[in-house]
Every structure is written in structure tokens, then in C-alpha cells.
Amino acid sequence: MLIKAENIHKQYRMRGHVIPVLQGLDCVVSAGESLAITGKSGAGKSTLLHILGGLDRPDKQSGPVRIDGNDLYGGSAATRTRLRARKIGFVFQSYHLLPELDVLDNVMLPARAQAKKRVFMRQRAMDLLDAVGMQQRAGHTPLELSGGEQQRVAIARALMNDPRVILADEPTGNLDEETGGQVLTLLFDLVRKNDYALVMVTHNEQVAMTCNRHLHLERGVLGESGDVGQPGNGCMSKRNTPPG
Ligand SMILES: Nc1ncnc2c1ncn2[C@@H]1O[C@H](COP(=O)(O)OP(=O)(O)O)[C@@H](O)[C@H]1O
Ligand SMILES: [Mg+2]
């Protein structure tokens, strides 16, 4: 299993109010597998991805979040940062490319902390840009690209350190249907070829059904969506059926 998160709890406090977001959620994803997560706005989808990606610590009573066997929150902040850089690639709805850097430097960003030679990193970044069809645009800045092109660059950046886990939060949310379809095809190809585990949050049921599995986040846990779920083989919740 590349991702194994158990009994995840997360609540936020706002001006004396407690907002329970995740309530004992389990999530398991294996290599080569893509998992779609749908759910209403505010259901906690981004919160879950942030927890799986080492960006937001779950509450104390939670079980471990294991990425490729490593306990993400079990060690120091430095260990977590290193794990995140090595094992996890993030793709965001709004791309999050740095506008002051050109495309090539954006893709190379995650490798900055690594000891490898720049010439080697540069070659890897160019190979990735080639894989996403953006090699010709290496010297352009993000603002000179369309949304779909920016997202392809963002995918290349996410893959720079050859992570095993890709977390994508509404990756096609800002793209038209055709461009979004191309970006998804690219993402799925890469997942299959490299045996990544992909977790993708999406509003779009059609998009969700293109993943191997599709789960729905509701009342703080993940449940079968009723489409393509394989019972017993993934994110099962302890409270699959709502009380009452
Ligand atoms: N940093 C935060 N502080 C307070 N509340 C937050 C914070 N982040 C998210 N929330 C709240 O948690 C809930 C889930 O948010 P989120 O995970 O962004 O949902 P989704 O991605 O499914 O739309 C929402 O009610 C949101 O307002
Ligand atoms: Mg969100």
C-alpha cells in the first residue's frame, strides 16, 4: 500500500465554534491505482488531501498516515518535509506556478534541496516537459501559457522528484472539458506507467468514473459512491452508514 491512513480525525475551531471535518476516516490506496474523491463543497476533501500530503496534521486521536510505509506525522517536521519532497507530488486547481520563474525553473523547483547536479536535474525537467508536451515552452513564463498548458507544467513539476504518490485537488476545475480531458489522460498514463498512486478530488462525477475507484466524502468519512467501488479493497469507513 502506498497510502494507508487510519482513523483520521480533524476539526477546526473558529471563534469558539468547533467544525468537525473528518471523523474517523480510513483511506488505503495501492501502487498503480487511481482513487477519485467526490463530495459537497466544504465536505473536507481538501483537508483530507492536505493531511495525506503532509501539509496539515490530523487531530491527536487519529491513527497514523503512512506513505510508502513511512509514518508521515510520527517524526520531526524536517523528516516530514523530506518525506513530502521525496514521496508526494501535489497538483492544484489553480496550478500554483511561480510567475517570476520560467517553465523549466518551475519544474525544477522541487529538486532544489537535492544534492544532485543541476545538469542532471535540468535533463530530467526537460524529459518531463517532453512527456507533458511542453518542451517547446521551457523558456516561457507561466502567464504566457493557457490554463491547460499551465496545468501540464504543474504536473511535470509534481513528478520532478519521481514521487510515488500524486495528490490532485480539482486538477481540471479551471479547464474546459476538452482540455481537462487531455490533462486527465496524461495524468492517468503517467500513473499507469510509473505505478504511482493517485488520489484526485473532483466535483465532476464523469471525471470520477474514469478513476479505478470512486469514493464519496460525507459526514467526515469516505463511503462507496455506488458507481465503481470494489468493496473490501480500499477506503472503507468505520461509519459507512449514517446513524439513524
Ligand atoms: N484552516 C481552516 N480553519 C478553519 N476552518 C477550515 C480551515 N480549512 C478548512 N476549514 C473548514 O473545514 C471544512 C472543510 O473544508 P475543505 O476541506 O476545504 O472542504 P472541500 O475541499 O471539500 O470543499 C469547511 O467547513 C471549511 O470552512
Ligand atoms: Mg476543496
Mean pLDDT of the chain: 90
- Residues forming a β-bridge with 214: 36
Higher-pLDDT residue of 216, 237: 216
Q: Which domains does the chain have, with CATH numbers?
A: 3-224 (3.40.50.300)
Per-residue model confidence as pLDDT tens digits over 157-171: 999 999 999 999 999
The pLDDT of residue 118: 87
Phi, psi of 224 (to 5 degrees): -60, 140
pLDDT band at 183 (very low <50, low <70, confident <90, very high): confident
How far apart CA 225 and CA 237 sit, in angstroms, is: 12
Per-residue model confidence as pLDDT tens digits over 100-149: 999 999 999 999 877 778 899 999 999 999 999 999 999 999 999 999 99
Give the residue carrying C-alpha cell 478513476: 211
Q: What is the mean pLDDT of residues 42-56?
A: 97
Distance 44 CA to ligand 1 centre (A): 6
Per-residue model confidence as pLDDT tens digits over 204-228: 888 899 999 999 999 999 999 864 4
> What are the DSSP calls for 22-75, one per residue?
EEEEEEEE-TT-EEEEE--TTSSHHHHHHHHTTSSPPPTT---EEETTEETTTS
Answer yes or no: is pLDDT of 235 > 80: no
Q: Measured between alpha carbons, how far is residue 45 from residues 37, 39, 69, 161 in Å?
A: 7, 7, 23, 25
Answer yes or no: is pLDDT of 47 > 60: yes
Distance 145 CA to ligand 2 centre (A): 24
Per-residue model confidence as pLDDT tens digits over 7-22: 999 999 999 999 999 9
How far apart CA 143 and CA 27 sit, in angstroms, is: 37
- Ligand 1 surroundings by CB, under 6 angstroms: 12, 14, 19, 21, 39, 41-47
The pLDDT of residue 112: 82
Q: Which mutation among 37, 46, 167 tests ligand 1's pocket best, with the greatest number of atoms within 8 A of CB?
A: 46
Answer yes or no: is pLDDT of 242 > 60: no
The pLDDT of residue 232: 39
Residue located nearest, by CA, to atom 7 of ligand 1: 12
Ligand 1 atom nearest to CA at 56: 1
Q: What is the mean pLDDT of residues 46-57?
A: 97
The pLDDT of residue 226: 62
The pLDDT of residue 115: 74
**b/e burial code for range 80-107 (CB count within 10 A of at least 16 → b):** beebbbbbbbbbbbebebeeeebbbbbb
Q: Strand 88-91 vs strand 3-14: parallel, antiparallel, or unpaired?
A: unpaired
Average the pLDDT over each of 62-66, 70-74, 224-228 and give the range with the smallest value. 224-228
Q: Which mutation among 17, 47, 51, 167 tests ligand 1's pocket best, with the greatest number of atoms within 8 A of CB?
A: 47
CA proximity to 46, closest of 79, 12, 78, 75 = 12
Q: Strand 221-224 vs strand 213-218: parallel, antiparallel, or unpaired?
A: antiparallel
Question: How many angstroms from the chain centroid is the CA of residue 22?
Answer: 17
